[in-house]
Amino acid sequence: AQSVTQLGSHVSVSEGALVLLRCNYSSSVPPYLFWYVQYPNQGLQLLLKYTSAATLVKGINGFEAEFKKSETSFHLTKPSAHMSDAAEYFCAVSGYGGATNKLIFGTGTLLAVQP
């Protein structure tokens, strides 16, 4: 079975401050991990994805995430927040093949950026 836990349903940062959104996963098979962003009244857009090739993954808009197997974590960071980063962020996990083909999402973290 696979699951994702996102700590903090709401996170508020000041413009220019570090963004840290937390994601922990559970998977019975090697996981594939994703971060998606959702702007108001829109569908989801991929920010970045974990491939087994590198533990530090860089995505769009200056975001990156680090896969830590020992901590079962895949936290999302951005060094300096911008007003346009205000959105809801979702962590997701899937496995490859068979019953692990499900794509399971966390409950989301709403990021607010204060001027």
Partner 1 sequence: NAGVTQTPKFQVLKTGQSMTLQCAQDMNHNSMYWYRQDPGMGLRLIYYSASEGTTDKGEVPNGYNVSRLNKREFSLRLESAAPSQTSVYFCASLFRARNTEAFFGQGTRLTVV
- 108: contact with partner 1 by CB under 8 A: yes
Q: Using the 8-state DSSP alphabet, how is residue 90 labeled?
A: E
CA-CA-CA-CA torsion sign (76, 34, 25, 39): positive
Of 11-19, 58-66, 67-75, 106-114, the window that binds partner 1 (rule: CB under 8 A) is 106-114
What would you report as the CA-atom Rg of the chain, rounded to the nearest whole angstrom?
A: 14
Burial profile 64-88: b = 16 or more Cβ within 10 angstroms, e = fewer: bbebeeeeebbbbebeebeeebbbb
Nearest residue (CB) to partner 1, 27 versus 106: 106
Binding pattern for the stretch 36-75 against partner 1, x by CB under 8 A and - elsewhere = ------xxxxx--xxx------------------------
Of 14-22, 66-74, 75-83, 103-111, the window that binds partner 1 (rule: CB under 8 A) is 103-111
Please give the Cα distance from 5 to 15 (Å, whole number): 26
Binding site for partner 1 (CB under 8 A): 6, 9, 32, 34, 42-46, 49-51, 90, 92, 96, 99, 101-108
